[in-house]
Amino acid sequence: MKLDPFEQKIIDKMQPGVLSLSGFLGKDNRHLHEIIEDDFNKLKSLNKTQEDIADRLSFFTDKSKDMIEDYIIIDDKYQVFQEVYRGLVLCPFNHKGTFKKAIIKLINIEKNIEIQWTPLNIHMIKEHCFFEGKGSHYRFEPEIIINAIF
Ligand SMILES: [Zn+2]
């Protein structure tokens, strides 16, 4: 499939070592459009929107900033941990903004599900419906994340 130069630029930025060490596409052989469309359809079938997920992840991200111990327990059910790093990251979709480098880990204690994300993931889900390619370090399946945070 021939890509327009704009799309090619996005895909180039998603390669390992450009904006992030491990890249965004993992071992996924699908076209970027397909990755996004498949997850978009999956969200629809699970009756959640990109905003629902992004808002919920933002909630946990903000709450875990107040972490005093090694982690914070939220609503007696979620164990959340946030590690902030120096520096900022860019969105591979050619946006102007920058995002804090941080990793947020959440364990749903009741269901025993563990997930992790970065502030950039929240943006990419909300604005681009992009959950990263299969095999990517921060890829998460919409089912798993929905099951963990709602
Ligand atoms: Zn963006």
Q: What is the pLDDT of residue 58?
A: 98
Asked whether the whole model's pTM tops 0.85, one would answer yes
Q: Is the pLDDT of residue 34 over 90?
A: yes
Task: Please tell me the distance between residue 91's alpha carbon and the centre of ligand 1 in angstroms.
Answer: 5
Task: Please tell me the distance between residue 69's alpha carbon and the centre of ligand 1 in angstroms.
Answer: 32
pLDDT classification of 3: cutoffs 50, 70, 90: low
Q: Is 126 left (phi over 0), alpha (psi -120 to 50) or beta?
A: alpha
Task: Please tell me the distance between residue 61's alpha carbon and the centre of ligand 1 in angstroms.
Answer: 18
Sequence-separated (6 or more) residues with CB below 8 Å from residue 14: 23, 24, 25, 32, 92, 133
Compute the distance between CA of residue 105 and CA of residue 139 in angstroms, rounded to an integer: 14
The token pair that represents 32 in the structure block? 């970027």
CB 133 within 8 A of CB 25: yes
Q: Is the pLDDT of residue 1 over 60?
A: no
pLDDT (tens digit per residue) in 87-146: 999 999 988 889 999 999 999 999 999 999 999 999 999 999 999 999 998 898 999 999
Task: Please tell me the distance between residue 127's alpha carbon and the centre of ligand 1 in angstroms.
Answer: 6
Task: Please tell me the distance between residue 109's alpha carbon and the centre of ligand 1 in angstroms.
Answer: 32
Looking at per-residue confidence, does 95 or 81 come out higher?
81
CB 117 within 8 A of CB 146: no
Task: Please tell me the distance between residue 92's alpha carbon and the centre of ligand 1 in angstroms.
Answer: 7
Q: What percentage of the chain carries pLDDT values higher than 90? A: 82
Using DSSP, state whether 85 is helix, strand or coil: strand
pLDDT classification of 75: cutoffs 50, 70, 90: very high
